[in-house]
Structure 1
Amino acid sequence: MEGQPIANSPHTGRFRMTEYIGIDVSKQSLELWDGTQEGEVPNEKGLKTLKKLLKKRYGGEWNETVRFIYEPTGPYSNYLRAFAAEHEVQVYEVNPKKSANVAKVLGNRSKTDVVDTKMLSTFHALLTEEDFGVPEVDERAEQLGAELGSYEMIQKTRTMLANHVHSLEYKSGVTKKLKESLEKELGRLGAMEDQLEKEMEAVAEEHEETREDLNDLLSMNGVGVISAINLLYLS
C-alpha cells in the first residue's frame, strides 16, 4: 500500500512505512481498513483481539507503525481511545460533519461499515503528522462521566415513575400493595441519586484543581452540585 515513511526502527534499522487504519466503531465491533486489507474485531474491553491482529500484520513494533483514523461514537469509542493511550498509538478523531462531507465528495452514498472504513482511511491524505496525537485518558473525568450518565438515567426513570404514580390517583382498581411497591421503588431511586451526587462531589474534592473549581462554581447563585459537576466534566 502507499504510505508515508517514518523513522528507522532502532531495533531492525529497517525503513518502515506508516499504516493508516480507518476504523468504523460500533457497539459490537470495530471494522478496519488499512488500504489493502479489511478486518473486524470485537469492541471489547482491552481490545485483545485487535492487538493480536495488529501484531500479526505489522510486527512487534506495530504501535510505532500504525495510525488510527476514526469517528468518535459516544461511549462506544472509549475502549479504542483507552487502547491507543495505553499503547501510545497516534490517532486522528474525525469530526462527524467533516466525514459526512468527505463521503459526499467521494460519492459514497451508501452507508455501510466497509464504506465508512475506506472513507476514513483516505483522510490521511488530508492530514500532516502534527494532526495526529496519542489520546489522553483522564480517569477522573471518565469516572465523573459514567456517574453523571447514571445519575441522569436514574433521574429520568424516577420522574417517569413519579408521574405514573400520580396518574394512578385518578384510576380505580389500584391496590394498596401496588401503590406501596411503586412508592418504595421511588424511594430507592431517590436514594441512588443522593448517593451518586455525594460520590461525584467526593471525586471532585479529592483533587486540588477540581476542588477549587467546584467551590468557585458552588459559590455562584443557582448552581448546585450536579450543575457544577457537569461544568467540570465538560471543561
Structure 2
Amino acid sequence: MSRFVPTTEERAAGSALFDFLRQAGHDLIDEDFDDRPDLTYKLNGHYMGCEIVGMIPADMQQAIRTFSKVMFRREVDVAKITIPIEPDMWMQTAIERKWAKVQKYPLSKYTKNLSLLVHYPMLGPHDPVEYDRDEFIDGVCYGQSVASHGFKNIFYWSGKKIYLLNYKKPSAPRVMGDLSKGYPCYCIYIMSAGAEGLEERFKDRQIPLQMAPDRVKHIKPLDPAYRNLKPHEPEGDLRFELDFKASPI
C-alpha cells in the first residue's frame, strides 16, 4: 500500500477505499512506490494516486493532545474537552490544506491523477457521533462542494462506508441548525489511570458535569458564525477516555 507507514486509521481507510473500488467493478492493482502520494495503484490500467487525511485539522488534534498531557502532568483525576461539530468546515479545511500541500510533491505518473480520501475524526473508542447520519453527511457534502482544489476525486470514509463526493456546487443551502443554546458540540471526559469508578460516578451524576475552568478545554470552532456563541453540550452525549497518557486522537 505504497510508500508511507500508515497509522491504524489510514490503513483502515485505505483498505475501505480499495474494497469500494473493487466492489464497483474496477480492476485495481496496488502499486509500490517510494515517494508520495500515500496510496498508489492502477485502476483499469491507469496509474492513480490518493492522499489520505483525517477530518479533524492538525492544529485541533495538537490542542487536544497538549491539553491531555498537561492534565496528566498535573495529576488531575478528570478533565473535559468540548469539540464543536463542524463537518462542513472540517471537510473544506481538510481538502484545501491538503491540496496546497500536494502542490510541492514531485511530479510522477501517480500525481497526475490524484484523489483525496478523507476519513472520519476517529476521536476514540467510545465516540457517540454517527459519522454517516444524514445531517453529518449533508455537512460533509457541503464542505466538499465549496472547497477549492484540483483533486480528481474526493472520497469520504465514515467508518462504515465510502462516499464518492464530486459536487461542483452546493447541492443545498448550508443548514446551520438551532443555535439558540449555542453551537453543537460533544465532550470527551478524560481520566487519569487509576481513577477507578469515575465513569459510573459520572453516569450516576455523583460528579458534576460542570467542573473548574482549568480542567476544561473548549476547542475553538472554525466557523466565524460560532465564535461568539457558547458550546452546547447535548444531554447524554458523553465519551470517556481512561488514561491521559493515551492521546484521544
Give me the TM-score of the superposition, normalised by structure 2: 0.28
Which has a greater percent of strand?
2
Give me the TM-score of the superposition, normalised by structure 1: 0.30
Which has a greater percent of helix?
1
